[in-house]
Structure 1
Amino acid sequence: MARTLWPVLLASAVGLLPFTVFSTYLVPIADEAGSGVAAMGGLRGLGGLAALLVGTALAPLIDRVPREWAAAGALVALGLSAALGASGDFILLAVFCLLVGASTSVLNPALTAAAADRFGTGKAAGRAATLVTATQSMTAMLAAPVIALPALFWGWQGDLFGVTVVSLLLAVVFVARRGKQASAGDAPAGQRLGYLASFKALAAVRGVVPLLLIGFLRTAVFMGYLAYLAAFYEERFDLDAGLFAFVWTLSGASFFVSNLLTGRITNSARPRVGTERMLAIGLVAALVSVVGFYFTHWLPLALAMTALHAASHAIVAACVVSLIVRRCGTSLRGSALSLNAAGQSLGVFVGAALGGAGLGLAGYPGVAVVFGALVVAALGAAVLVARASRTDDDPDGKTDKTDDEAEAGTEAGTP
């Protein structure tokens, strides 16, 4: 599966690099632009805003064009944005942030949908989609050291120009691959839904709206938790930035491994635990770990909670993507994944804001209450997802079995 999807996986990794460079080299970038660090860092929020607006507005269009074309266009925009950012000009850096957010809001759903389309509509498709998200989580964990070494030779500007070159080359690859294979975007015009009809059709798919809500709430909790993680470890355990780097690595590694394994286990031919049940288990673990974490005064236990919390969110993320891909089919999955990504962009802002409010009002116990309440709300949405599964005519049944047989043939070398 990874060999088949290598351009998709590489493109998903490249999509994370521009903002990683921006965050890693924020101080020298601010110096180059003649700006303060706070002002320059604030531009990062433009990317999230652009991702929210563009991802929501273009969601129905993701399913109306070939996936490869959507990905290629987004990669060209990403490469252009990286080249603009390398200029070091404050205005162009603002445009850089806007373009990166807008391009990734199209790139990530298109890549995830393209990966799923190669393996049908059942569990094999869900596994392919979660392989993309696992690659992204691995890249987020390893990107900083990966870009730091080349930057020793050509600086942060060279990193961004490197992103430009790789993005444009990958765009060419996607266009070339498009000419050799059919895509889900090739549905006859009469079968394509209108813009507003796509939103209505998505709302009519059982369990999709609660899944999108879970994706938003999960992101709000996890990103809000991460926003104050360093401050918590410094205040309670006196960990400086150097030691905290190991905590960050622990969290990232836990997320990556859990996301990868969950995608494989829940989308296997005969899973021991259903995807909906695994989703509930992940949310319960997230609730226990996020509440318990803020009342912990013993460092080993805090580290265990950190690992558990990251792993639980990875479980939830993989289950949400798998269920969206399997429920929506090829005609709507791009739209649903785009809305899921837009909801996650909104969740970043909401989580940080609510976490800060809880911290200001009641300290870390207040943060625990806020994030715990969000997870409880997500558990309520998970109940609706489970009910929708029970009312489906063929949940994880014959259709998925057929796709699993196709997947087994693919893994054995059958085209």
Structure 2
Amino acid sequence: MTRHFTVLTAGVVAVGAQSFLLAPLLPDLATALHATPAEIGRALAAYGVGVVLAALLLGPRLDRVPRAGALTAGAAALAVSAAVSALAPNWEVLAAAQVLAGAGAGVVLPATYAFAAELAAPGTEARATGRVLTGWSVALVAGVPVSTLLADLVGWRGVLGALAVLAGAQVVLYRTLPSPAVPSAPRPRLATALRLPGVARLLLGTLAFMSAFYAVFGFAGAEIRLLHGGGAAGAGLLALCYGVGFGLGAATDRYAGRVGLAPVLAALAGVYLLLAATVGLLPALLAAAVAWGLVNHVALTLLVSRLSAAAPDARGAVLALNSAATYGGAAVAGLLAGPLYEAAGLGWVAVAGAVVVAAAIPVTRSRTARPVAVGS
């Protein structure tokens, strides 16, 4: 069983490395592809569009196909997209490749979270969710900083080529997972899953949470390079510090059932204001990034585990909606944060993130009802 969770966590690492890598390399991509930061921001937004499309088109089918098969197909899409990205001659091709990458992530992530909950012992689903979520921390602490160091040595194209190899290896690993019998019940519809008690409120919380995250994270690396100098490796310091904090947040997983989501979001809004206040002071900004990662881990674990518990018979569909909300937030951030960043800088982007998260607090205060079965 431990080996299965290791494979699932490794898949999150692969997704995380691919989804986070472009942010600290944004200036290099803009220069090489003769694009503006806002145009590269649109490429980041294209990744989110791919996830949303996969969630809406494939989400209802995730509960009626073997989890291992879905994971294998998603990882294959990630491998192809990374290879195409490495060869992209302009930002439009990069954006198209990111749509495919997003589609792969839109399958891998909900299937991973649902599989983790199904493999967990009764009553430990939240801890199991937190366990696979540590893959995001590994991607940030190890994957992204190492990739940015390699980018300074071999260029961003070489790094994306390496990511294609990593995703290809994950295809092989997924084939070692068990393939339980697929339920024969009717396939749940996304609209039905959306109407489950508490699901819509939690998805709105995810949308706000992720919009704020991607808005700030997407341009933090560029801001550090602009204000404090250094190459891609210097920009990767923030990802490293965020990842350390995210990993530290795993120590709170055992208490996930006792913490309210609204207080965590309130703390997160305060962290965004702290980030805004420390943009000009690199050591303070990096320290704030550690706190940012820790609070984000707690919030993400609460959102995913509560959505997973909302409908045990339709976890794939509900968590596909979560992926749609997650990368819908990324798409919104990519489209709107770019102009705000170019006009006012990262500080005001972080303030906007605080406002968005704070606005979600009253929405998430309502208690989620007990899980119910879902049919078609």
For Structure 1 versus Structure 2, the TM-score category normalised by the shorter chain is 0.7 to 0.9
- C-alpha separation between the residues in 1 aligned to 2:80 and 2:88? 14
Q: Deviations over 1:22-59 (max 9, x none)?
A: 56666777787xx4143566434322222222222222
SS in 2 for 1:376: helix
Q: Which residue of 2 aligns with 1:118?
A: 119
Q: CA RMSD in A?
A: 3.7
Q: Which residue of 2 aligns with 1:174?
A: 174
**Residues 60 and 199, structure 1, Cα contact 8 Å, conserved in 2:** no
Change (3 A) 1:245 1:177: closer
Q: Deviations over 1:328-387 (max 9, x none)?
A: 21x211111111111111212334555567778988886566333322222112211xx3
**Residues 217 and 375, structure 1, Cα contact 8 Å, conserved in 2:** yes
Change (3 A) 1:252 1:145: closer
- C-alpha separation between the residues in 2 aligned to 1:297 and 1:100? 31
Aligned counterpart in structure 2 of residue 375 of structure 1, from 353, 357, 363: 357
Change (3 A) 1:123 1:379: farther
* Unaligned residue ranges in structure 1 (runs of 5+): 268-273, 395-415
* 2:254 paired with 1:264: yes
**Residues 251 and 306, structure 1, Cα contact 8 Å, conserved in 2:** yes
Change (3 A) 1:257 1:76: same
Code of the residue aligned with 2:118 in structure 1: it is: D
Change (3 A) 1:316 1:161: same
Write out aligned runs for 1:38-117 (5 A): 38=36, 42-90=42-90, 93-117=94-118
- C-alpha separation between the residues in 2 aligned to 1:322 and 1:335? 14
Quote how far apart the aligned CAs of 1:210 are. 1.0
* 2:169 paired with 1:187: no
**Residues 221 and 236, structure 2, Cα contact 8 Å, conserved in 1:** no
Q: Deviations over 1:227-284 (max 9, x none)?
A: 454577689xx533466654443233112321x22323326xxxxxx14x2x233112
Change (3 A) 1:150 1:301: closer
**Residues 214 and 382, structure 1, Cα contact 8 Å, conserved in 2:** yes
**Residues 55 and 341, structure 1, Cα contact 8 Å, conserved in 2:** yes
Quote how far apart the aligned CAs of 1:322 are. 1.4
* Larger-gyration structure (1/2): 1
- C-alpha separation between the residues in 2 aligned to 1:232 and 1:149? 18
* 2:309 paired with 1:315: no
**296-305 vs 56-65, greater mean Cα deviation:** 296-305
Quote how far apart the aligned CAs of 1:320 are. 0.6
Aligned counterpart in structure 1 of residue 228 of structure 2, from 211, 214, 239: 239
Quote how far apart the aligned CAs of 1:107 are. 1.2
Code of the residue aligned with 2:228 in structure 1: it is: L
- C-alpha separation between the residues in 2 aligned to 1:226 and 1:322? 24
SS in 2 for 1:177: coil
Q: Which residue of 2 aligns with 1:224?
A: 215
**Residues 8 and 116, structure 2, Cα contact 8 Å, conserved in 1:** yes
Quote how far apart the aligned CAs of 1:101 are. 1.4
- Using the size of structure 2 for normalisation, the TM-score is 0.80
Quote how far apart the aligned CAs of 1:317 are. 0.8
Q: Which residue of 2 aligns with 1:254?
A: 245
Seq. identity, %: 24
SS in 1 for 2:368: helix
Q: Which residue of 2 aligns with 1:215?
A: 206
**Residues 354 and 370, structure 1, Cα contact 8 Å, conserved in 2:** no
Q: Which residue of 2 aligns with 1:288?
A: 270
Q: Which residue of 1 aligns with 2:327?
A: 345
Q: Which residue of 1 aligns with 2:191?
A: 199
**303-312 vs 103-112, greater mean Cα deviation:** 303-312
**209-218 vs 123-132, greater mean Cα deviation:** 123-132
- C-alpha separation between the residues in 1 aligned to 2:371 and 2:42? 49
Change (3 A) 1:304 1:345: same
- C-alpha separation between the residues in 1 aligned to 2:155 and 2:348? 42
Change (3 A) 1:97 1:264: same
SS in 1 for 2:311: helix
- C-alpha separation between the residues in 1 aligned to 2:34 and 2:280? 38
**Residues 150 and 159, structure 1, Cα contact 8 Å, conserved in 2:** yes
- C-alpha separation between the residues in 1 aligned to 2:30 and 2:136? 27
**Residues 356 and 367, structure 1, Cα contact 8 Å, conserved in 2:** no
Q: Which residue of 2 aligns with 1:388?
A: 368
SS in 2 for 1:5: helix
**Residues 223 and 345, structure 2, Cα contact 8 Å, conserved in 1:** no
SS in 1 for 2:11: helix
Quote how far apart the aligned CAs of 1:106 are. 0.9
